[in-house]
Amino acid sequence: MPAVVRGGRRQSSAKGGARGAPSGRAAEIGRLDMSPRVVAATLVVGVGILAAVLATGARAERISTAVSERFDSVTTGMGLKVRQVHVTGASPEAAVAVRAAVGVHADQPIVSLDLAAVRERVQSVGWVKEARVVRLLPDTLIVDVKEHDRLAVWQVGGKAHVIDAQGIVIPGADAGRYPRLPLVVGKGADQAASDVLPLLAQRPRLMAKVDALVRVDERRWDLRLKDGALIQLPAVDQESALIRLDALDQRERLLDLGFARIDLRTPEEVAVRPSEGAA
């Protein structure tokens, strides 16, 4: 039977958002800014491109480089450069890694910025499930991320990991920061957790007493309660087993009486072993 250890610092597991964009700007995400400045810059650069092609006869790649540099020079000179980067949707734990992945520096030309590349870098961060990157001219970059949800802490091989609803380990997540997440233990517990945890969430009276869910032979669950008692669930139709337990608890207040073990593995039966100190 795997050991159950609930280590780590006791800190809030609530997921906080990073500092958002100033009010009035967030609503503009996705809107293309076609200000007179931008239109004027585009015309100036267009004339420069034509002049370069007619006058130099240079190779296409050399022209492209020169045009790109000229474009950046003109647009940054008009104030179209990065001055602010706002990260939204990221928890405090993930925000530092997300900001580092953005990889944009102050005064970098914003018009020619490769948003797809920025998005790809941000989505490579383990915390991030998906990201959206938007530029708000003249000088602001918005990076909006959606993180993997935190379903449970999975303990296996003496190590603890934070997993999402698909059973995927979230890289960089410190399990010690999430003492309120359910603890699932053993091989296969990561993939099976999403099936049983919603059933327990519907039964807050029982869930409040559960200390850990232990996966047995990769087939079924044992619920270890905080007082040391054990509830054995069947390999199939665990919802029906919990319904039987609910009915018995409503009649007898079983969960308050104290017991060593409740065996729900046999259909239509509930076998209860009283604790040694029970009357």
Average pLDDT, stretch 201-222? Answer: 96
Ordered domains of the chain (ranges, CATH): 26-147 (3.10.20.310), 152-274 (3.40.50)
Question: Is the pLDDT confidence value at 78 over 90?
Answer: no
Q: What whole-number distance in Å separates Cα of residue 222 and Cα of residue 173? A: 26
- Band of residue 261 on the pLDDT scale cut at 50, 70, 90: very high
The pairing of strands 271-274 and 140-147 is: unpaired
Average pLDDT, stretch 223-243? Answer: 96
In tens, the pLDDT along 83-135 reads 999 999 999 889 999 999 999 999 999 988 999 999 999 999 998 999 999 99
In tens, the pLDDT along 159-176 reads 999 999 999 999 889 999
Edge to edge, what strands does the sheet with 140-147 contain?
Answer: 84-88, 140-147, 128-136
Q: What whole-number distance in Å separates Cα of residue 21 and Cα of residue 86? A: 5
The reported pTM is 0.68
Edge to edge, what strands does the sheet with 152-156 contain?
Answer: 159-163, 152-156, 183-185, 210-216, 220-225, 230-232, 259-263, 271-274
User: In this predicted model, which residue has the larger pLDDT, 35 or 279?
Assistant: 35
Peptide bond into 2 cis (omega under 30): no
Q: Of 49-58, 163-172, 179-188, which range is least confident?
A: 49-58
**Given the structure tokens 């065996």, which residue do they identify?**
263
Question: For residue 133, what pLDDT is reported?
Answer: 97
**Given the structure tokens 């609910």, which residue do they identify?**
246
Q: Of 35-44, 68-77, 176-185, which range is least confident?
A: 35-44
Please return the burial class of 214, using the count of CB atoms within 10 Å of its CB with bins 0-12, 13-18 and 19+: buried
- Band of residue 150 on the pLDDT scale cut at 50, 70, 90: very high
